[in-house]
Each structure stands twice: as C-alpha cells, then as structure tokens.
Chain A
Amino acid sequence: NAGVTQTPKFRVLKTGQSMTLLCAQDMNHEYMYWYRQDPGMGLRLIHYSVGEGTTAKGEVPDGYNVSRLKKQNFLLGLESAAPSQTSVYFCASSFLAGGRTDTQYFGPGTRLTVL
C-alpha cells in the first residue's frame, strides 16, 4: 500500500495563477482532509470530506476549493493564487473504526511558493 500520496511535491506560482493539488489514498478511507502548515501556526484545516461527493469547510477555507469525485481522490484548487497561500500543504485520510477515534494518516506534503 502506498498510503496517502500527493502530487506535485513542489510548485512555484505567480500571483493570480491557478493550480490543483491532487491527493490519493489506497486505504479505502471515508474521510479526507487538506491542511496547510505555516511556521508558528501549526497545522490548520482548510477543507475536509466525509465521503465521496461531499465536502465541508474547515478553519481556513478562503481562497481554496475542493472536490471529491472519487472516494480515493481529494483535489484542492487555488483559483487565483496569492502570496499568503505560500505554505506546505498536507493531505490526510482516516476511517471511523467501530466508533473509536479515527486516526488521520498524512501524505508527504506539497511545498507551494506564490511569487
């Protein structure tokens, strides 16, 4: 199993450009998440999905859109990139096992720089 994979690993954008980050998981997890990690801010949730075809806003959703057309994929889109979106983006997935707390498993991250 590859676990959670993210594409691309690195990207540099100019202000106003758009891009899509792809997350894929092969663990048959229902839940998927997008976080951003910034120095001194910790991990902050952007959007999440509790199943195929459903998405919801997290803590910092402005400037981002997401889609979950297939259970194994979760896409994060930036329609018009801004320098404030320079960050490291992590995707995670989890399942709810018998009512116990769902452990989130993270991908390797995408380092995005917006000039």
Chain B
Amino acid sequence: EDQVTQSPEALRLQEGESSSLNCSYTVSGLRGLFWYRQDPGKGPEFLFTLYSAGEEKEKERLKATLTKKESFLHITAPKPEDSATYLCAVQAPAGGTSYGKLTFGQGTILTVHP
C-alpha cells in the first residue's frame, strides 16, 4: 500500500529563518510527487510536480527536491505570508483507463513569525 509521511507535523520559524519540510514515501512505481499549499479554509493550491530522483524545482522562496525515498521542500528566508499547511502527495502509475491514484500525507503546518 502506498504511504506518505510528512514531518514535522508543525514548524514554527522566525521570519528569515530557513528550514526544510520532509516527505517520505513508499509507492509501487512513482509516477509523480506533488507539493501543495493549503491556506486555512481554502482548497489545496498546486506548487510543484517532481517526476524522478535528482529533480529540483523552485518558485520564489520555495525549492522542492526528490530522492528515491523522500522529497524536501526547502524554504529560504521565509516571510509571514508563507504560513500555511504544506501537503505532499505521490501518484502511482495508472492502469488501463483508470487514473493514477494520489496518496496524500497529513501535511506540515508552517507558521512564520515576523
């Protein structure tokens, strides 16, 4: 069974204090790993997709990396507006006409204090 574990459950940072969020996964053939951001009371907002080990993607202060067992979301010099829950999900290969199931982690709640 596909599993995704995110750590830590919650992370409190001071503005400008860089850190990383971890997403460990087990999946029968990774088709893609997704990072989403979710603000309170809103739906998940897509950030990145990573397809293979060694791949990296960046967006503003965020950088996502991928290995064969885990992904990291690095946050450089965070600002209070980066406060949100960050979700990681893995997608297994699709079979025939069925879609590739997404398995989500429980998320990391990031709080950045000014």
Q: Is the interface of B mostly helix, strand, loop or mixed?
A: loop
Q: How many A-B residue pairs have CB under 8 A?
A: 55
Contact size range, A: 20 to 34
Question: Quick one: given A50-B97, A101-B32, A103-B34, are A43 and B51 in contact (CB under 8 Å)?
Answer: no
Question: Quick one: given A31-B99, A50-B98, are A106 and B106 in contact (CB under 8 Å)?
Answer: no
Question: Quick one: given A40-B106, A43-B104, are A106 and B91 in contact (CB under 8 Å)?
Answer: no
Say whether B99 contacts A50, CB under 8 Å: yes
Contact size range, B: 20 to 34
Say whether A45 contacts B44, CB under 8 Å: no
The chain B residues found within 8 Å of chain A, CB to CB, are 31-32, 34, 36, 41-46, 49, 51, 87, 89, 91, 94, 97-102, 104-107
The chain A residues found within 8 Å of chain B, CB to CB, are 4, 31, 40-45, 48, 50, 56, 90, 94, 96, 100-109
